[in-house]
Amino acid sequence: MSRAAAFVATIVAVAVVAGLVAILPQLVNDYIVRVVIVMCISGVLVASMGLGNGFTGVFSLGHVGFVAVGAYVSGILSLSQAAKHSYLPDLPGWLSGITLPFLPATIVAGLVCVVLALVVGAPLMRLSGYFVSVATLGFLIIVNVVLINAVDFTRGARTFTGVPLETTLRWAAGWLVVTVIVLARVVYSPTGRRYLSVREDVIAARAVGIKVLPARLSAFTLGAFFAGVGGSLYGHYLGSFSPASFYMAYTFALISMLVIGGMQSISGALVGVVVVTVLSEVLRNLERGLDFGAFAIPPLYGASQIVLGIIFILIMIFRPSGIMGDREFGLGRFVKRKRA
Partner 1 sequence: MRPEMRFAIGLALAAGLATSAYAADDTIKIGAPFNVTGALSSLDAPALNGAKLKLKEINDAGGVLGKKLELVIYDTKTDPTVIASVASQLINQDKVPVAFGFTDSDSVLALGPIFQQAGVPFITPGATSPKLPEQIGDQVFLACFGDNVQAAAGAEFVAGKLAGKNVYLLRDNSTEYTTLLAKYFEEAFTHNGGTIIGRDDYKSGDKTFTAQITKIKAGAKPDVVYVSAMPDDIGLIVKQMRQAGITQPIVGGDGYDTPLLTQVGGKASNDVYYSTHAYMAADSTPGIQKFYTDYKAAYGMDPENAFAALGYDTLGLIADAITRAGSTDPAKIRDAIAATDGFAGITGSITFPKDVRVPAKTVTMIGVKDEKLFLAGEVKPTFIPAP
Candidate ranges 7-15, 54-62, 64-72, 240-248; the one touching partner 1 (CB under 8 A) = 240-248
Residues 3, 4, 27, 29: which binds partner 1 (CB under 8 A)?
Answer: 29
User: One symbol per residue from 275 to 314: x for binding partner 1 (CB under 8 A), - otherwise; what is it?
Assistant: x--xx-xxxxxxxxxxx-------x-xx--x---------
Query: Measured in Å, how far apart are the chain's first and last C-alpha atoms?
Result: 15
Q: Closer CB to partner 1, residue 218 or residue 267?
A: 267
Q: Closer CB to partner 1, residue 100 or residue 308?
A: 308
CB of 247 to partner 1, least distance (A): 9
CA-based nearest residue to 88, from 164, 163, 151: 151
CA distance 21 to 300: 35
Candidate ranges 91-99, 128-136, 158-166, 206-214; the one touching partner 1 (CB under 8 A) = 158-166
Subset of residues 135 to 154 that bind partner 1, contact rule: CB under 8 A:
148
CB of 79 to partner 1, least distance (A): 13
Residues 25, 156, 325, 330: which binds partner 1 (CB under 8 A)?
Answer: 156
**What percent helix, strand, coil does the chain show, rounded to 5?**
70, 0, 25
CB of 264 to partner 1, least distance (A): 17
Residues 34, 85, 185, 206: which binds partner 1 (CB under 8 A)?
Answer: 34
- DSSP code string of 8-24: HHHHHHHHHHHHHHHHH
By CB under 8 A, the count of residues binding partner 1 is 44
Report which residue type is found at 296. Answer: A
Residues 161, 168, 191, 321: which binds partner 1 (CB under 8 A)?
Answer: 161
Q: What's the CA angle centered on 219, arms 132 and 254, to 5 degrees?
A: 65
Does 13 sit near partner 1 (CB under 8 A)?
no
CB of 312 to partner 1, least distance (A): 13
Q: How many CA atoms lie within 13 A of 51 on its CB side?
A: 31
**Sequence-distant (≥ 6) Cβ neighbours of residue 176 within 8 angstroms:** 40, 43, 44, 47
CA distance 292 to 294: 6
Torsion sign, CA atoms 172, 177, 182, 188: positive
CA distance 277 to 274: 5
Helix (H, G, I), strand (E, B) or coil at 90: coil
Does 165 sit near partner 1 (CB under 8 A)?
yes
Provide the binding-site residues for partner 1, judged by CB under 8 A. Answer: 29-31, 34-35, 38, 148, 156-159, 161-162, 165, 237-245, 249, 271, 275, 278-279, 281-291, 299, 301-302, 305, 323
